[in-house]
Amino acid sequence: MTPNTNYRNLKDSYLFAGIAKKTRAYLDANPGAHLYRMGIGDVSLPLCGAVIEELHRAVDDQAQKSTFHGYMPEVGADFLREAIAAYYKTHGVTLSPDEVFVSSGASDELGDILDIFGRDKTVMIMEPAYPAYVDANIIAGNTVIRLAAGEENGFLPMPHEIPTEKYGAADIIYICSPNNPTGAVFSAAALKQWIDYANETDAVIIFDAAYEAFIEEDGIPHSIYELDGADTCAIEICSLSKTAGFTGTRCGYTVIPNALERGGMNFNRMWVRNRTTKTNGVSYIIQRGAAAVFTERGQKEIREAIAVYKQNAKVLMEALDAVNITYFGGKNAPYLWMKCPDNMGSWEFFDKLLNQIQVVGTPGEGFGACGEGYFRFSTFGSPEDTAEAAKRLKMLLG
């Protein structure tokens, strides 16, 4: 028997391991030093009251014969699918609850969804990118086309920039907007160009909407289905991780429109078949907690937590503005993507911040080769640490 040799093609994930190693070395040499950690992509605020109360109630349900739940539907509980469909309605998108699949998170789905496609697909990934897209496709044996984004296109590449003569057309296109790591967001008009391109070339877009709740400007789509034509070419993957602090609680959702078909096969039906084979659904308790996010009180409370992260973003943006550093993001996403000063490399800048001001960020190079020379700050840290980090950045770079 031969193992999946595609694993040999994976590059070691040295990004977070590299950060951990360097920070450990610093702390060994400087015992007791306080580090200002602006690198993490994990939330720091606890779950909101509405969710906590509902989780407790659901635990009690499981204690009584009359309210006990065993196996849940593999595709998600009706009450949660309906709550999510109603949430889409607030963005002007009409979905049938059977187009919504409850999941245990976006990362799982971004790779698992490849089961819907045939083998040996060509996949286009816009870099800098969330590393999981590339790795899941390498494991699946797909050919990965990296479409490099940069300052010249505001980190938002458009279909006409694809070097088709070199690669031919893509079968699958990953789009993440608001983007991790750059914080860039596609306008409705720009996203529409990708939808038209996908429909013309028969490609399918996998739209990662993990950060939709951070959008604050008008005219930016929260869902790809706000735009005409998306229901015949796009799968949307979303998560409560960043929206509602579910990184450790685990719940997300995937939308596959009934209209999405290729080769006479219906993707929604295929995914029902896939889920009923490969999962037994998300736990009743967690789905109850997730449904509380979509209540009026839940929405109010999660917006309060997001406002704390947005205030962190503002503090960091003011600091970078004050020292004339070019950066992207911050407004509609919990990340700032800055250009390293003096043409420094991203690891070189990482070392400088760690050693001189004890601020830890994420080197852009870890998100793809075109991220070299850039640096990511997360706004998920505590307001106190963020304020101190901003002050130190201003002093160092001023």
Among 54, 112, 208, 365, binds ligand PLP (CB under 6 A): 208
Closest to 230 measured CA to CA, from 84, 83, 87, 93:
93
Q: Per CB under 6 A, does 379 bind ligand PLP?
A: no
Which residues face 126 on adjacent strands? 147
Closest to 159 measured CA to CA, from 120, 131, 198, 128:
198
Which residues face 173 on adjacent strands? 124, 205
Stretch that binds ligand PLP, among 236-244, 263-271, 371-379, 389-397 (CB under 6 A): 236-244
- Residue closer to ligand PLP by CB (options 208, 365) is 208
Q: Per CB under 6 A, does 279 bind ligand PLP?
A: no
Q: Per CB under 6 A, does 210 bind ligand PLP?
A: yes
Q: Per CB under 6 A, does 176 bind ligand PLP?
A: yes
Which residues face 274 on adjacent strands? none
Asked if 248 and 104 touch (Cβ cutoff 8 Å), the reply is no
Stretch that binds ligand PLP, among 62-70, 135-143, 235-243, 309-317 (CB under 6 A): 235-243
- Residue closer to ligand PLP by CB (options 285, 319) is 285
Tokens linked to 37: 């950690």
Q: Per CB under 6 A, does 242 bind ligand PLP?
A: yes
Q: How far is the CB of 108 from ligand PLP (least distance, A)?
A: 6
Q: Per CB under 6 A, does 222 bind ligand PLP?
A: no
- Residue closer to ligand PLP by CB (options 258, 279) is 279
Tokens linked to 354: 């760690």
Asked if 78 and 97 touch (Cβ cutoff 8 Å), the reply is yes
Q: Which residue has the tokens 């009743």?
A: 284
Q: Per CB under 6 A, does 106 bind ligand PLP?
A: yes
Q: Which residue has the tokens 């899941």?
A: 136
Residues touching ligand PLP, count (CB under 6 A): 14
Residues 6+ away with beta carbon under 8 Å from 189: none
DSSP string covering 137-169 = HHHTTPEEEEEE--GGGTT---GGGS-HHHH--
- Residue closer to ligand PLP by CB (options 256, 397) is 256
Among 128, 221, 252, 281, binds ligand PLP (CB under 6 A): 252
Among 87, 117, 130, 186, binds ligand PLP (CB under 6 A): 130
Residues 6+ away with beta carbon under 8 Å from 85: 95, 96, 97, 99, 100
Within 3-42, the residues that bind ligand PLP by CB under 6 A are 41
- Residue closer to ligand PLP by CB (options 54, 208) is 208
Question: Where on the chain is the footprint of ligand PLP (CB under 6 A)?
Answer: 41, 105-107, 130, 176, 180, 208, 210, 239, 241-242, 247, 252
